[in-house]
Structure 1
């Protein structure tokens, strides 16, 4: 049984922007300004049913890197914070492999995901992290 009653899905286009996911934002990837981000959200949500999903598009911070020369995509670098019961009894490497396997197509395609930073937690781990942050 989930410890969190409300599903918290967050979209972050840049570190300072935070918007809750609504049905209007869950448009088809072909009509979106951020199709890779939309695909990430759809695949993670379908497979892991997260209680928390935060997506940070950090591509703008890496556009000047040599590896990004000639790349026109604005969706190459992402940070994901995922809380899911699906991670229970899995060590961090197994959790990360699970997410990588879900997004392998987006990581393999030209102009797709170049870098993916993950924070994966169970609901209990997220609660402990929040408690530690609030007491600090």
Structure 2
């Protein structure tokens, strides 16, 4: 399946029906039907965004996108496949991770040397945690 220039990340909806692929250079997110392998939509991200990582909410209703050099995270409403909101976080967020309950989103902000904790529903940064030099990834384990 062809997607935009410099694809960076892919996330499937929990039911496996659709894939969302970030395209850094095009500043787009491609929505792909996982069964037919056909493009359903290309979502333009906010001006200045460089989409990097992607995470799905547990129910698949929201797709979170880190916008790298844009310094933001956007949320896509999966029902309409459109950008529903954007929140500024630290510098150049790359890796993101969502808690299993879908309430908190963590962003690794490389050049600002910190991790932002975001209220995933309200799209507000609730805390910024200094973590050391140039964090690029973040992961959350799931209890067995």
TM-score, with length taken from structure 2: 0.32
More helix by share: 1
Please say which structure displays the higher CA radius of gyration.
Answer: 1
- Greater relative contact order (Cα 8 A, min sep 6): structure 1 or 2? 1
